[in-house]
Chains A and B, each alone.
Chain A
Amino acid sequence: TQLLEQSPQFLSIQEGENLTVYCNSSSVFSSLQWYRQEPGEGPVLLVTVVTGGEVKKLKRLTFQFGDARKDSSLHITAAQPGDTGLYLCAGDSGGYQKVTFGIGTKLQVIP
């Protein structure tokens, strides 16, 4: 079983602060995804990273895939209350698309 560990599990910050959350594994992934989930809804895909060392930006969110394709980070600049939610990373082992999720980082941005 491939495990994805996310840290921190909980994070509460003030509006305007920067933050970084991490996703780590001992396994190599074909690709890695980040999702955001709000209460009462399903996870929504934010980004996919495929190449080791890849960096993708989505407005104030910066995603990085580790060189060895085993880990990833999500950095949020100037967090807004609308960023509040559960951030999940997921690893795709390729082949028949067995996708494994981390337990998530629950982010609260206080106005």
Chain B
Amino acid sequence: DAGVIQSPRHEVTEMGQEVTLRCKPISGHNSLFWYRQTMMRGLELLIYFNNNVPIDDSGMPEDRFSAKMPNASFSTLKIQPSEPRDSAVYFCASSRTELTGELFFGEGSRLTVL
């Protein structure tokens, strides 16, 4: 079975540019999560969707961040405009159950904002 697929794996951009990260969850999973990982703060939950509906976006740092899930097989996380402090690894994860936190992670998108 294909796992969670994220793109791009690496992105280097300049401050002020728009960044779009993409995620394809595992087929049949009904929950999707976006996390950000840094050395200092570990894994931080940004937003999660259940059945394509955003449930909790309280972890989104500020209005520069937005996420969409137009269908069950695709989600995007957009940063506009990007800032150097946004540099991190962004993970997408999906889950097939509503009762346990068993998440399946993608390989991550490493973002560097210069």
A residues apposed to B, CB below 8 Å: 30-31, 33, 35, 40-45, 48, 50, 88, 90-92, 94, 96-104
B residues apposed to A, CB below 8 Å: 4, 31, 33, 35, 41-43, 45, 48, 50, 55-56, 91, 93, 95, 98-108
A42-B91, A104-B42 known; A97+B107 contact, CB < 8 A: no
Inter-chain contact A42/B106, CB cutoff 8 Å:
yes
Chain B positions within 8 Å of A30 at CB level? 99-100
Chain B positions within 8 Å of A41 at CB level? 107-108
Inter-chain contact A31/B101, CB cutoff 8 Å:
yes
Inter-chain contact A97/B106, CB cutoff 8 Å:
no
Provide a sorted-by-A list of 29 A–B residue pairs whose CB atoms are within 8 angstroms: A30-B99, A31-B99, A31-B101, A33-B100, A33-B101, A33-B102, A42-B4, A42-B107, A42-B108, A43-B43, A43-B91, A45-B102, A45-B103, A45-B104, A48-B100, A92-B100, A94-B99, A96-B50, A97-B31, A97-B48, A97-B98, A97-B101, A98-B45, A98-B56, A99-B33, A101-B42, A102-B42, A103-B42, A104-B42
